[in-house]
């Protein structure tokens, strides 16, 4: 949505509003996502934004070794090439160069900075998940388990698209990871996922988009490794108004379907995620270890009117939120067996829409009670779909299944129910 400023007073007022929000943002947890960038920066006109983030602009080339940057270029190019395979667009020597870098101890790469790319500024982020790689593969790369079951703080819904290699019968990555032959002949899979994310923690925007994906299961230095590469296929749907109910760690979200942002002052803006690219490396910290190393290269380009307002610090905040929610699931001693989650998903998939809405009816009634006293949910955009316990009637079949699955995971993991 184009915007015009009729006076200098309008710009001054916007700047004052942003300064106020910036001070408030200091109290936000580190897990707030890139919506903070949108909420703070979108309220400024292009002339003001042009001078922002000088530190990022001064470091567009990053500081990664040139061979590592070359490996990144190779992988991001291969993700959109369905024919890419070892020796045909996929250079195993370059892949090993990237793995050598990514699998170093966290302290050795603490200040690593990828170069800016078409997808915007990027980050490198290194951490650890206290669960074995085989378990991670079992829960995250079984097409029968939707991603919202294991990434509840970040993903509303995600489904592999028809024709994706991972959909092939009998393909079990968690069983293949121990194959020593993968070091010389990695398993390479191509595909695409349709994904919708949860509302961010500041502006409340949520988006849907398609990701082209490349998965490489290999072994490096005696350790099993899964490399996941994704690239956004096209700009996202327009940002829509969402709400976090209670604490973000409770995984309760409401989706209005109305374009705009939830935060006052920027609610009228049409925002988009224009592009994103990600290289994630999951690896055994040591051969057969109970912990999984996590290394992330990520770039994001998002904003309004083709203006990118995302800075590296916002991407890192989003990465931290993503990992925190994931660890709550995978590291929990209450996590149900993967087969149980897949079976429960199958039950939801087999229900007709009336049955799905009936299953969500009690939740919808409790949501209406909570919404009456909530400063965001009582607004017209939300209240019109919540009042009289009608929220479930506004959801599509896939949205109903995703909501019920997330509620099931909350219950099994001991999360508080809405209104409790």
Task: Note the pLDDT of residue 37.
Answer: 54
Distance CA 337, CA 331 (A): 13
Contact by Cβ (8 Å): 413, 149 = no
8-331 belongs to CATH 3.30.530.20: yes
Q: Quick check: helix, strand or coil at residue 360?
A: coil
Region of residue 187 (phi > 0: left; psi between -120 and 50: alpha; otherwise: beta): beta
Q: Give Cβ neighbours of residue 202 (< 8 Å, ≥ 6 apart).
A: 25, 28, 32, 33, 35, 36, 38, 39, 40, 263
Q: Give Cβ neighbours of residue 146 (< 8 Å, ≥ 6 apart).
A: 157, 158, 159, 345, 401, 402, 405
Q: List per-residue pLDDT tens for the chain, 420 residues long.
A: 333 323 333 323 333 333 333 333 323 333 333 454 554 444 444 333 333 445 556 578 899 999 999 999 999 999 999 999 999 999 999 999 999 999 999 999 999 999 999 999 999 999 999 999 999 999 999 999 999 999 999 999 999 999 999 998 778 999 999 999 999 999 999 999 999 999 998 889 999 999 999 999 999 999 999 999 999 999 999 999 999 999 999 999 999 999 999 988 888 899 999 999 999 999 999 888 899 999 999 999 999 998 999 999 999 999 999 999 999 999 999 999 999 999 999 999 999 999 999 999 999 999 999 999 999 999 999 999 999 999 999 999 999 999 999 999 999 999 998 977
Q: In the chain, where are the structural domains located?
A: 8-331, 334-420
């Amino acid at each position: 949505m184009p915007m015009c400023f009729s006076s200098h007073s309008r710009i001054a007022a916007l700047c004052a509003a942003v300064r106020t929000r910036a001070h408030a943002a200091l109290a936000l947890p580190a897990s707030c996502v890139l919506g903070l960038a949108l909420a703070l920066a979108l309220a400024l006109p292009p002339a003001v934004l042009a001078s922002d983030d000088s530190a990022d602009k001064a470091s567009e080339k990053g500081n990664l070794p040139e061979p590592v940057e070359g490996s990144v270029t190779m992988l991001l190019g291969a993700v959109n090439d369905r024919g890419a395979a070892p020796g045909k667009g996929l250079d195993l020597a370059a892949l090993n160069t990237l793995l050598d870098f990514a699998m170093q101890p966290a302290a050795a790469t603490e200040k690593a900075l990828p170069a800016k790319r078409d997808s915007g500024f990027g980050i490198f982020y290194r951490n650890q998940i206290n669960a074995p790689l085989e378990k991670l593969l079992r829960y995250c790369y079984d097409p029968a388990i939707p991603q919202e079951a294991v990434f509840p703080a970040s993903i509303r819904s995600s489904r592999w698209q028809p024709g994706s290699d991972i959909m092939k019968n009998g393909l079990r990555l968690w069983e293949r990871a121990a194959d020593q032959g993968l070091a010389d002949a990695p398993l390479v899979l191509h595909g695409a996922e349709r994904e919708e994310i949860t509302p961010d923690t500041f502006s409340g925007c949520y988006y849907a988009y398609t990701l082209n994906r490349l998965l490489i299961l290999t072994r490096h230095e005696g350790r099993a490794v899964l490399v996941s590469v994704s690239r956004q296929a096209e700009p996202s749907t327009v940002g829509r108004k969402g709400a976090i109910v209670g604490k973000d760690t409770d995984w309760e979200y409401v989706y209005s379907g109305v374009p705009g942002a939830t935060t006052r002052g920027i609610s009228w803006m049409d925002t988009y995620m224009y592009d994103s690219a990600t290289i994630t490396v999951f690896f055994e910290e040591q051969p057969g270890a109970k912990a999984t190393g996590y290394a992330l290269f990520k770039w994001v380009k998002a904003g309004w009117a083709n203006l990118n307002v995302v800075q590296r610090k916002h991407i890192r905040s989003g990465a931290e939120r993503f990992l925190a929610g994931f660890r709550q699931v995978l590291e929990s001693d209450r996590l149900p067996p993967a087969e149980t989650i897949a079976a429960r998903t199958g039950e939801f998939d087999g229900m007709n829409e009336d049955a799905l809405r009936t299953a969500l009816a009690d939740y919808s009634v409790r949501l209406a009670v909570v919404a009456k006293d909530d400063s965001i949910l009582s607004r017209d955009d939300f209240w019109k779909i919540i009042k009289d316990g009608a929220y479930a009637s506004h959801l599509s079949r896939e949205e109903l299944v995703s909501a019920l699955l997330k509620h099931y995971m909350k219950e099994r993991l001991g999360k508080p129910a809405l209104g409790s």
